Structure 1
Amino acid sequence: MIDSLQSVVDQTGPQLKLRWLTAVPARELPLRGDAPEQAQHSLIGSLNCIHPNRLQVIGRPEQLYLKTLGSTAYGETINKLFADRPAAVIFTDGIEPDADIRERAAHAQTPLLGSSLGDQDLINHLRYFLTHALAERKTLHGVFIEVLGMGVLLIGDPAVGKSELALDLITRGHRIIADDAPRFARIAPEVVEGTCPETLRDFLEVRGLGILNIRAMFGEGAVMRNKTLNLIIDLQPLDHQQLACIDRLSGSLSVMNVLGLAVPKITMPVAPGRNLAILVEAAVRHQILRIRGYDAGVDFIDRQARAIGQDRPDPPGTRR
């Protein structure tokens, strides 16, 4: 996992043409910062002394701005820049920092980096990279699969039939992302993305058959590297009393908290003779309609109310 300045430079340096303008720090520098207030700072952005970034970027516009400042204002700005203890200051567009900045950086023990890329190109690339690399993560037990364009996590007790259902869905043209231990990361306020650990990629364990290589068996189109989590289906063997408690109109729709995000969850009864693959497809289609603003249960209730209103007899004494 990327969590230090040195690891970011190692991972992105060749692509973003990053180079050290000062000596490589002897100790690992955390990107989040040690102090609580530093952990709240945005990760990267153009020079900002009011709301500091952990990686402060100085490009041509910032360089021109600094040159317009008088000596007093310039000194105050540079002092504020390094007093906020950024993880590093990055100079873009091939800009070389002047001797004064180098001296103050050395005194504050703040690394300086340089790149020949433009400031916005560098910021956009690094922001995307850091958003994914530093996202909060969680591993859930289940099978993560894409069904009709939606990321569906199949969960349930061991041996309930998750892998067999996933295999059935794959044969129907859907794609698997991860079996057994999909890893999820919250990459945006309303987005949780799931992927597969490298060692488990392409494999699916089915009891009685062992480990299957889905890519080798079904081809490249049967697997995916990552997908947004849209729906959770909890496979549960329910008795008659539990089935009777399920709402006949709205079903078993609820939510499950994943990394602080409420993800729709459907409890799907497992019983002999039920075609779970078709039911999963129907559940996904139903959820897509909900996202678009249509709820069949509400529509049904409204239709019944209209029918009752039309059949209601007129009150006594009312003329037609």
Structure 2
Amino acid sequence: MNPVHSLQGLVEHIGPRLKLRWLTPPPAQSCPLLSEQGGQTAQSLVGSLNCIHPNRLQVLGEAEMLHLSDLSKPAYDETIERLFSARPAAVIFASDITPDPVFFAYAERTGTPLLGSAARDAEIVDRLQYFLTHALAERTTVHGVLLEVLGLGVLLTGDAGVGKSELALEMIARGHRLIADDAPELARIAPEVLEGSCPALLRDFLEVRGLGVLNVRAMFGEGAVRQHETLNLIVHMRSFDNDGLASIDRLRGSLSTRTILGVAVPEITLPVAPGRNLAVLLETAVRNQILRIRGYDAGVDLEDRQARAIASSR
């Protein structure tokens, strides 16, 4: 199968759903969807006819064809020339539109593939934007265990042997879900959104020291795994000595942020020590993060109460 970042790969992956078909012979060479200049978003990759800021995939529907038919002959020829001189990756005709012969002439002259579809132009643009946003998103792989806890995506990080997999196993036993162990893949699908998923080779597996590799889906059922989730919180597991524990802010805790692919993700450090119920602490950390997302911070609330109490005693 062709890579999804090429036109041929796009047609193979989503072509059946949109009923895409080649109006010109498929190119022998791979046609990249991203231009050499780069820096494109999914919105600039696909869109309706645009000769000012041309898209890589130009979609022509009934409204665009009606607009072209209303132009004078010189304006019509100029618009078609500008369309193909921008070197789009392809021109897609929606609603089973049959292109005029001039489109085929310019397509042959410039080496631009033409595609047709029975779907309407709005559906083509919407589906391709969504597909390309995920397929061409900037990605990175991190070390840790990615879980869904109380509806939030939580990444457990820490040194080898600190207990990430054991904690993940306990969370799964408590009804939470595994997304990826060891090598979660993070994709930036929006300016401030990271989505985590698992490489296909590692899906459903969790390695626990002493037990080996476990198939979580086979052991706990379908509800114990999830394919992907938005990353909302990073929990860094770390062993502390007494001095290290004493240095943690007792009001604010260890809340900070970590930047991944340009996105700032809230991070807390979870002290690991004998006798601590890490599963309860992790669930509590997630509940506390949910409150922060809703605008409530217990530390700020306590400070406000103290300030009001001091003010009322004067």
Q: Same fold (TM over 0.5)?
A: yes
Q: Quote the Cα distance in structure 1 between the aligned partners of 2:114 and 2:234.
A: 46
Among 17, 20, 43, the alignment partner of 1:18 is: 20
The verdict on how the C-alpha distance between 1:41 and 1:214 changes in structure 2, with shifts beyond 3 A counting, is: closer
The answer to whether residue 89 in structure 2 is matched with residue 87 in structure 1 is yes
**Contact 1:88–1:113, Cα closer than 8 Å, also in 2:** yes
Among 147, 161, 164, the alignment partner of 1:162 is: 164
Among 193, 196, 204, the alignment partner of 1:194 is: 196
**Contact 2:42–2:133, Cα closer than 8 Å, also in 1:** no
Aligned to 1:136: 138
The verdict on how the C-alpha distance between 1:104 and 1:223 changes in structure 2, with shifts beyond 3 A counting, is: same
**Contact 1:22–1:112, Cα closer than 8 Å, also in 2:** yes
What SS does the corresponding residue of 1:256 show, helix, strand or coil? strand
What SS does the corresponding residue of 2:274 show, helix, strand or coil? coil
Bigger mean CA offset, 32-41 vs 242-251: 32-41
| Matched residue type, 1:241 | D
Deviations 1:298-318 (A, max 9, x none): 100111111122233xxxxxx
Aligned to 1:183: 185
The verdict on how the C-alpha distance between 1:78 and 1:252 changes in structure 2, with shifts beyond 3 A counting, is: same
Deviations 1:110-166 (A, max 9, x none): 110111111111111111111110001111100000000000000000010000000
Structure showing greater radius of gyration is 1
The verdict on how the C-alpha distance between 1:37 and 1:138 changes in structure 2, with shifts beyond 3 A counting, is: closer
**Contact 2:43–2:129, Cα closer than 8 Å, also in 1:** no
Q: Quote the Cα distance in structure 1 between the aligned partners of 2:254 and 2:56.
A: 45
The answer to whether residue 260 in structure 2 is matched with residue 276 in structure 1 is no
**Contact 1:233–1:265, Cα closer than 8 Å, also in 2:** yes
**Pairwise mapping of residues 275-294 of structure 1 onto structure 2 (< 5 A)?**
275-294=277-296
**Pairwise mapping of residues 46-195 of structure 1 onto structure 2 (< 5 A)?**
46-195=48-197
Q: Quote the Cα distance in structure 2 between the aligned partners of 1:239 and 1:28.
A: 57
**Contact 1:154–1:162, Cα closer than 8 Å, also in 2:** yes
Deviations 1:179-229 (A, max 9, x none): 011111011112110011111111110001111111111111111011000
Among 262, 267, 270, the alignment partner of 1:265 is: 267
Q: Quote the Cα distance in structure 1 between the aligned partners of 2:39 and 2:252.
A: 45
**Contact 2:42–2:129, Cα closer than 8 Å, also in 1:** no
| Matched residue type, 1:288 | I
Q: TM-score, normalised by structure 1?
A: 0.95
The verdict on how the C-alpha distance between 1:211 and 1:36 changes in structure 2, with shifts beyond 3 A counting, is: closer
Q: Quote the Cα distance in structure 2 between the aligned partners of 1:122 and 1:286.
A: 41
Aligned to 1:253: 255
Aligned residues: 312
**Contact 2:22–2:116, Cα closer than 8 Å, also in 1:** yes
Shift of 1:18: 0.6
| Matched residue type, 1:32 | L
Give the CA RMSD over aligned residues.
Answer: 1.4
Aligned to 1:317: none
What SS does the corresponding residue of 2:45 show, helix, strand or coil? strand
| Matched residue type, 1:271 | A
Shift of 1:40: 9.3
Q: What's the % identity of the aligned pairs?
A: 63
Shift of 1:35: 3.5
**Contact 1:32–1:39, Cα closer than 8 Å, also in 2:** no
Q: Quote the Cα distance in structure 2 between the aligned partners of 1:146 and 1:61.
A: 44
What SS does the corresponding residue of 1:137 show, helix, strand or coil? strand
Q: Quote the Cα distance in structure 2 between the aligned partners of 1:78 and 1:38.
A: 23
Q: Quote the Cα distance in structure 1 between the aligned partners of 2:28 and 2:43.
A: 24
Bigger mean CA offset, 40-49 vs 185-194: 40-49
The answer to whether residue 299 in structure 2 is matched with residue 297 in structure 1 is yes
What SS does the corresponding residue of 1:50 show, helix, strand or coil? coil
Structure 2: runs of 5+ lacking an equivalent: none
Shift of 1:38: 6.8
Q: Quote the Cα distance in structure 2 between the aligned partners of 1:138 and 1:150.
A: 20
Q: TM-score, normalised by structure 2?
A: 0.97
What SS does the corresponding residue of 2:256 show, helix, strand or coil? strand
The verdict on how the C-alpha distance between 1:182 and 1:89 changes in structure 2, with shifts beyond 3 A counting, is: same
What SS does the corresponding residue of 2:56 show, helix, strand or coil? strand
**Contact 1:5–1:87, Cα closer than 8 Å, also in 2:** yes
**Contact 1:143–1:162, Cα closer than 8 Å, also in 2:** yes
The verdict on how the C-alpha distance between 1:40 and 1:184 changes in structure 2, with shifts beyond 3 A counting, is: closer
Shift of 1:39: 7.8
Bigger mean CA offset, 223-232 vs 209-218: 209-218
